[in-house]
Amino acid sequence: AGRMRSTVPTTPIINDRVPRAMKPQAGLGAYGELHFALLSQVNHLGKAKAWLDEQGIAYIYRDIKEENPSVQELTEWVGRGRYPLKAFFNTSGQRYRALGLKNRLPALDQQEQVAILASDGMLVKRPILIGEDLILVGYKPKEWEEALG
């Protein structure tokens, strides 16, 4: 019911799902509106959020456990070509292991894999930073610095 129908939410979202106003900040530049998807309970992902905050980069927060990416969104993100579909899977997660996806995914086509990924936000690698002409999967400080610094 709460699933987004487009790749860009119309309302900024934070972890308690209450809309907030976005402050215009330097550094947003050519990326347009940045969307930051992560799981709020995972403390080590706070490093990515802290980095964005330190750089003064505005973003819209989305808890992907509560609002997992849709098939349409995932298809678009993979279609950008920066990362293969497998990069979007949280391969170290309990849900991934419980479903036996390591052995199942190679036998499935891309459409089937995307449908599985869209079915559960816990299967999605975090964080994901999405902008108009930008997508970053997983927090790798050097990669984020090169892309946004």
Are 134 and 31 in contact by the 8 Å Cβ rule? The answer is yes
What's the chain look like in SS3? CCCCCCCCCCCCCCCCCCCCCCCCCCCCHHHCCCEEEECCCCHHHHHHHHHHHHHCCCCEEEECCCCCCCHHHHHHHHHCCCCCHHHHECCCCHHHHHCCHHHHHHHCCHHHHHHHHHCCHHHECCCEEEECCEEEECCCHHHHHHHHC
Q: Could you give the percent of the chain with pLDDT greater than 90?
A: 38
Q: What is the model's pLDDT at position 34? A: 67
Of 140 and 32, the structure prediction assigns the larger pLDDT to 140
pLDDT tens-place string over residues 54-92: 888 888 888 888 888 999 999 999 998 889 999 999 999
| 119 compared with 17, residue with greater pLDDT | 119
Taking the whole predicted model, whether its pTM rises above 0.95 is answered as no
What pLDDT does 28 receive? 38
